[in-house]
Amino acid sequence: MPNTTIYTIINQKGGTGKTTTAVNLSCAIAKKRKKVLLIDLDPQGNLSYWLGCGEIELSVGDWMLGECLLEDVAMSREGVDVIPSDMNLADLEINIASMDNRESLLKTALGQIEGYDYVIIDCPPSLSLLTVNALTASNKVIVPLQMEVLSLQGLDQIISTVGKIKDVLNPDLQIEGLLPVMVDNRRKLSKEVHDHISQNYEVNIFKSRIRTNVRISEAPSFGESVLSYSPSSNSAADYTAFAKEILSLNKKK
């Protein structure tokens, strides 16, 4: 897929806004008339639940193994094609562990589809074989990060993991940026952490930031992105701005 940009959203910690970013960034990009494929690669299936995928017969695992076609597994939500996941994905991870091509199943599956401007992959909160598949298949990485001291601990590990995948499996992989999430402007500390990262790490921090807002945590109960659920919220504005930043970084011809 030469004209497709494939993004993995990672952070090995849970609860750092990966799924929130995957859902709302995808919907915000789709609103800009781009064709987006959103992949739930977390056996917890939070993304699939959020977008109301319900009980599924086929999941991303079947598609990665080449056992079904994209049109059989994908569901359309707010203009985004979503490939859902469920708990069975944890078994797949065990079953593929002994396969020679275990790291590249997702890459192979993605190589067979076309017509998308963006693919966005939501990962589990671990550096598992599923995450390795996502990184092997991707062009770029987005790391949602809370600007607090404890987040710094994980940052070295993320940078080192991406570096290893780049060396061994995917030479073109790059971290496009860290996305400050759950930002509370009243807290001075966030600015200090932000400054510490920009001074000590050679990694881009996106200009956009996602503020803390209760609307985000309400949206999954309604099966909608926050852009649909609460279009006038600052969360909808923040993810729309982030989508704009992503589009301008990619400047598709």
Ligand X SMILES: Nc1ncnc2c1ncn2[C@@H]1O[C@H](COP(=O)(O)OP(=O)(O)O)[C@@H](O)[C@H]1O
Residues 6+ apart with CB under 8 A from 203: 155, 159, 175, 177, 178, 197
Angle (nearest 5°) at CA 75 between 74 and 79: 115
Residue 183 CB, shortest distance to ligand X, in Å, is: 8
Nearest to 130 by CA among 164, 166, 103, 110: 103
Residue of 217, 222, 231, 252 that binds ligand X (CB under 6 A): 217
* 159 vs 237 by CB, closer to ligand X: 237
The residue behind tokens 């589009």 is 247
| 75-77 and 80-83 beta bridge pairing | antiparallel
CB-facing half-sphere around the CA of 158: CA atoms within 13 A:
27
Residue of 46, 48, 225, 235 that binds Mg ion (CB under 5 A): 46
18 binds ligand X (CB under 6 A): yes
Residues 17-36 that bind Mg ion (CB under 5 A): 18-19
46 binds ligand X (CB under 6 A): yes
Residue of 109, 210, 236, 243 that binds ligand X (CB under 6 A): 210
Residue of 14, 111, 115, 231 that binds ligand X (CB under 6 A): 14
Binding site for ligand X (CB under 6 A): 11, 14-20, 46, 125, 181-182, 210, 212-213, 216-217
